[in-house]
Structure 1
Amino acid sequence: MGRPSHPARLRTRPGSRGLPPCPGRGGKQMYQTWGEHLYLQVKTTDKFKFSKHVEDDRVTPVLKFSIETAELKLVEAMGASVPVVLLVVDRADMKLFYVCLNDYISKKLAVSSPTWRDQQSITLYIPIRNEIRVTDEEFDGSSHWGYFARLAQRSKIYSAANLTHHYSVELEHASDKLFADEMDPTFFGPAAADYIHRVETFTNEVAELDIWRKTDNEWAALENHRQALNELKERTANLKAELKALDGPPESLLDSNFFLGRLDFLSSAFRTLSLLGREYEQTARLERLPGGDPFASHDEA
């Protein structure tokens, strides 16, 4: 194997993701690239070996494929943010199956075979539902191509998860300072304004991240976070305007539990937004794996 093949850069079809078609020179249709990528590693075999994988009373029809441990160690070293998809081709029947090696290592091998690194080779169990057929709709979100598009976006999601977590911690510290019992009331107004400014700055930066661009193939949980982000932006703007228009001494805000509660909501809302990475690890990275795939039908036994 040596190293995985060059990354496959996924491109959108004309007019997808909310963008209009882009006519090019000579009337040819142009495509917009977004910098999303994944790696594809192709293996061939003369005959597939089919079996069943049992996990937590879930029975998944699978094909068994052996791979050298050194190759999996390389994928592990590359990190989870760089998806490596193994494509296994049966030369006899001309069938093609796939599995994301990063996710298989982290979510399956690490759990079922903690000492897998000491072995010479590893037997992978690839769900037979991961078979690519030429009749598959290329841009159907539930198709294999839709799954590949979601994988290719992973580095952006990890970046967003890291950023929201960092800013959430920053706001927690700012919130502790804002609501400290020893806070001098005369400084509360400016401190509240500074806090709201921090929330506004952090939220605006997060809102500009590319993961919020709607696609046909996006991870479903993104919509919930998108709505939460929009609500956070709206409430922050309203609170900023209210503080600016305040009639009376800023310290009077200390007597308003309603106002304090709304300030606290901003921190809480951002903390919820920072759960993006955790949700991704718990659900999205199980997609297309044997047994614990939360997106698959488990009536396959």
Structure 2
Amino acid sequence: MTKKQRSINQVKEDISVRVLREKLPREWVVHSYGADYGIDCVVELFDFIDEGKKIAETLGENFFVQLKSSDCIEYSSRKAYGRGNVTKGPLVEDKSDYVEIQIAKFQLDMSDILTVQSMGIAIPVLLILVDTNSERAFFICLNDYIDKVLIPEDPLYFGKGSKTIYIPTENEILDEENALVALRAYGKRSKMYGAFSLFSYQLKEIWRIQGRAAAPHIIPLEQAVEMIKTFVDIALRQDIWKGHEFWEPMEWSHGELLELKEKLSRGVKAEDYDQFLIYCSDYIWHRLTNLSNMYEELVREWFMPTYLAMLTSYPPKQESN
């Protein structure tokens, strides 16, 4: 009769879980996801709320994790060529313009890829790869990788048994605030998409009272001002404005909403009504709704193994003397 045994894969899994917990801030919580159906755990973000760092409060922010480990990761480099916007058309690369990206390779089963694709883009799923020899951990957002790298480069990917995922080694998980920017941004993603939908709704309602929509709804000045006040208050209540110091457009729009709130507190004169609505629709809400466009074209490409990502995702290298 044999005794209980452990396979080397089980040992590696235990190492990967331990390494992940050690790399993340101690106040964050890693929730196991039970049986492996493509998601291994959910990371819930917390922040300390006291100076002594003894009490942490949830941020209501999470990201899913596919946790993989290997003791024989292939480290290599990848040429990332300048290219057109793959959100707007097929991949077109400029072979004369490229950057070399240091990467870790991992072969991911197609069933895992298709599972993530079916989840959509609002809740991020991060592939976290742990090198069990060096105990380094690297991340890549699979939702974004599928749309920005995999499909443009291999439109028939779904017919393959697996695909090699290229993870920039710059995407190393470290318990340092600068290195956590990406993970914090992924945790906030579902809130961002909720806010984008809200801003779009608000803009369309402003268009209606301007007579610019298919179903106009012209209302008196006082009622319109109250509606705009309500829109501003609701927009400012969205829990998206903190933690985005790395993305200036968020700060700009937040400041503009606060400025509009101040203007509203002083009242709107009847003779200024039309210009006030134009200011709201063509400036404030135009910029708010444009956040979603920039998010799709720029933010979702951050931390990918692409030319644009290398230019926009990481702090500039310090040149040594």
Q: Is residue 295 from structure 1 mapped to residue 320 from structure 2 by the alignment?
A: no
Task: State the match for 1:118 in structure 2.
Answer: 159
Q: What's the offset of the Cα at 1:207?
A: 1.0
Q: In structure 2, which of residues 274, 277, 280 is the aligned counterpart of residue 266 of structure 1? A: 280
Q: Is residue 276 from structure 1 mapped to residue 301 from structure 2 by the alignment?
A: no
Task: State the match for 1:246 in structure 2.
Answer: none
Distance change in 2, residues 1:266/1:220 (3 Å): closer
More helix by share: 1
Task: State the match for 1:208 in structure 2.
Answer: 237
- Structure 2 Cα separation of the partners of residues 107 and 70 of structure 1: 19
Partner of 2:127, secondary structure, is strand
Identity %: 26
Q: What's the offset of the Cα at 1:95?
A: 2.5
- Structure 1 Cα separation of the partners of residues 316 and 273 of structure 2: 49
Amino acid at match of 1:102: N
Q: Normalized against structure 2, the TM-score is what?
A: 0.73
1:70-98 superposed Cα distances (whole Å, 9 cap, x missing partner): 10111111121111111112223332211
In terms of Rg, which structure is larger?
1
For the 8 Å contact 2:137–2:172, the answer to whether it is kept is yes
Structure with the bigger RCO (C-alpha within 8 Å, sep 6+) is 1
Partner of 2:122, secondary structure, is coil
Q: What's the offset of the Cα at 1:194?
A: 2.2
For the 8 Å contact 2:221–2:273, the answer to whether it is kept is no
Q: In structure 2, which of residues 261, 270, 294 is the aligned counterpart of residue 233 of structure 1? A: 261
Distance change in 2, residues 1:280/1:271 (3 Å): same
Count of residues paired in the alignment:
260
Q: What's the offset of the Cα at 1:43?
A: 0.7
Task: State the match for 2:208 in structure 1.
Answer: 173
- Structure 2 Cα separation of the partners of residues 217 and 95 of structure 1: 27
- Runs of 5+ unmatched residues, structure 1: 16-20, 244-252
1:102-157 superposed Cα distances (whole Å, 9 cap, x missing partner): 11112111222222112111111110111235xx42xx2x21x2321111111111
Q: Is residue 61 from structure 1 mapped to residue 102 from structure 2 by the alignment?
A: yes
1:155-201 superposed Cα distances (whole Å, 9 cap, x missing partner): 111100110011111211221269xxxx9xxxx8x622222222111
Matches within 5 A, 1:50-129: 50-54=75-79, 55-56=81-82, 57-129=98-170
Task: State the match for 1:36 in structure 2.
Answer: 61
For the 8 Å contact 2:120–2:143, the answer to whether it is kept is yes
Amino acid at match of 1:195: A
Distance change in 2, residues 1:263/1:96 (3 Å): closer
- Runs of 5+ unmatched residues, structure 2: 1-35, 83-97
Partner of 2:202, secondary structure, is helix
Task: State the match for 2:188 in structure 1.
Answer: 153
Q: What's the Cα RMSD here?
A: 2.6
Amino acid at match of 1:92: N
- Structure 2 Cα separation of the partners of residues 298 and 111 of structure 1: 28
Q: In structure 2, which of residues 228, 231, 251 is the aligned counterpart of residue 223 of structure 1? A: 251
- Structure 2 Cα separation of the partners of residues 14 and 35 of structure 1: 14
- Structure 1 Cα separation of the partners of residues 65 and 77 of structure 2: 25
